[in-house]
Amino acid sequence: MRSLVNQLPKMLAMLACVLMLAGAARADKIVLKNGRKIIASNVVEDGDKIRYETSAGQLALPKSIVDHVEKGGLVPMMGSPAAAAASLDLEPAESAATAGESEIDKSAVHDGTVDRNYINHLESRAAAGGAQAIQAARAHHAASRFEMVKGDLERALADARAAMLYAPEDPAMLLELAYVYLRRSEFKQSLEYLERAKRYAPKNPDVYKLEGWTYYGLNRPDQAATEWKKSLTLRADPEVQAALEKAIRDKAEEENYRENESAHFQLKYNGAAEPGLAREVLHTLEGHYQQIESELNFSPPDPIGVVLYTEQGFADITRAPGWVGALNDGRIRVPVQGLTGVDSELSRILRHELTHSFIQQKTHSRAPTWLQEGMAQWMEGKRSDENASALVQVYDAGQAAPLAQLEGSWMRLAGTDGNVCICVGAGKRGIHCADAGDGGYRTHSGSPRHGDRDGTGCARSVA
């Protein structure tokens, strides 16, 4: 199969165009009195509690700490552990800054940009160490936080690494660097700095909270549960509690599962499944792996977890809508009840979900969901020929949501009732395929940036 680079003219005509019609699930924004914001769904007032749902499950807050609730938007749900780090309240908490630290923060980041001249000035005085080195670390720390908010994980990582070099024993700097690596789906690196932070701050609950998500990303849910339990002994946290309960459900379901593995996959499967099916699934996945690896010029650094369920087991663990045929939340989860071998449909599903694993890791979880889904459908062989005209009609009727609102999971969508139209079609916006010197495949690091936020140009192009 020719690589995507060799198919550049054809691939420049590819775009994942997603349309959300009226009736799709909406999200609310809970604004707390301390300024923190939580994106959630099904927000309801229940006595002295505000109850809501997020990717971590059903949660509740004391009404006394909530300032107000804003309506609107589409529901973002958790995908990979890195996506969870982006959407949940996982960012390391900071102690109140001193007056000097606040002044450094304001000088390092102001007027919507990072003042590199100021940071360079602090660095020039930091060679002797001491207070000057701490000041340089603080400035880079502020810059890293700013770049993280902007979604520029490359610069955030560079600043977090610089901060750690100037203050290698500061738990806040170590925790920040670990957090950036987690957001980038670089779990082993994240774990390295979390372990170092633990030595200097053994009673910091955020260390164990982030370590839980790191282990979950490494396909080690048992260890993730252990770390989340430690975090909860130090501080109550509804998001950690929900994550722990999910890990415990995983463990209970998989306790009697059999295991198998191949060069790139770690497989668990229900004991009722045919061992021959498990071996064939691994063989199929390895074949798809080689093809996708060639197409995207990328190899995921760690083995990918795969779990084969009964229909009921899949429903109990994922709590996905009935129309969902498989799920990838860092592990590929597929119901296979009744199958004795890999048929064409299962092979297609495996290829689709595996594409998500590749793109999540290659883009450090920065590819928006509509682009992820479009690429996965393209890789499994779907094209937009039959849907292009319907796509334009929906845009002409003003029923399509902007692409910027489609960057969360679609788990709550109605799926088969016409509320969602997914079109992988011919359009030039939203995706770049280019040699880029290394034959690589490149996507935007976030939302489309070339004036097509509502996708209208895409809709016209596919017609």
pLDDT band at 91 (very low <50, low <70, confident <90, very high): low
Residues 6 or more apart whose Cβ sits within 8 Å of residue 204: 171, 175, 197, 198, 234
pLDDT at position 448 over 80: no
Q: Pick 174 or 74 by higher pLDDT.
A: 174
Closest to 222 measured CA to CA, from 242, 248, 241, 245: 248
Per-residue confidence (pLDDT) for residue 369, from 0 to 100: 74
For 268-272, what is the mean pLDDT? 82
pLDDT band at 436 (very low <50, low <70, confident <90, very high): very low
For 33-48, what is the mean pLDDT? 74
Per-residue confidence (pLDDT) for residue 412, from 0 to 100: 47
Per-residue confidence (pLDDT) for residue 98, from 0 to 100: 67
Please tell me the CATH code under which domain 26-74 is placed. 2.30.30.100
Residue 454 exposure: Cα atoms within 13 Å on the Cβ side: 10
Which helix H or strand E contains 442, and what residues bound it?
strand 441-443
Per-residue confidence (pLDDT) for residue 203, from 0 to 100: 95
Where are the chain's structural domains?
Answer: 8-23+381-462, 26-74, 106-239, 258-362
Phi, then psi, of 252 in degrees rounded to 5: -65, -40
The class of domain 106-239 in CATH terms is: mainly alpha
Residue-wise burial string across 238-253, b where 16 or more C-beta atoms lie within 10 A, e elsewhere: bbbbbbbebbeebeeb
Is-contact 172 141, C-beta < 8 A?
Answer: yes
Tell me the Cα Rg of the chain: 23
β-strand partners of 32: 66
pLDDT band at 2 (very low <50, low <70, confident <90, very high): very low
Alpha helices in 7-98 (DSSP H): 8-11, 81-87
Among the ranges given (63-77, 154-168, 303-317, 350-364), the one the predictor scored with the smallest mean pLDDT? 63-77
The span from the CA of 176 to the CA of 450, in Å, is 31
CATH 3.30.930.10 fits 258-362, yes or no: no
The span from the CA of 213 to the CA of 221, in Å, is 9
Q: How many residues does the chain have?
A: 463
Choose from 25-29, 166-170, 307-311 the range with maximum mean pLDDT. Answer: 166-170
Phi, then psi, of 284 in degrees rounded to 5: -65, -45
pLDDT band at 149 (very low <50, low <70, confident <90, very high): confident
DSSP E strand boundaries for 310-354: 327-328, 331-335
Q: What average pLDDT does the structure give for the chain?
A: 74
> Residue with structure tokens 């520029």?
152
Per-residue confidence (pLDDT) for residue 386, from 0 to 100: 54
pLDDT at position 313 over 80: yes
The string of DSSP letters for 87-127 reads HSS-SPP-PPPPHHHHHHHHHHEETTEE-HHHHHHHHHT-T
Torsion of CA 441, 445, 446, 449, to 10 degrees: -80
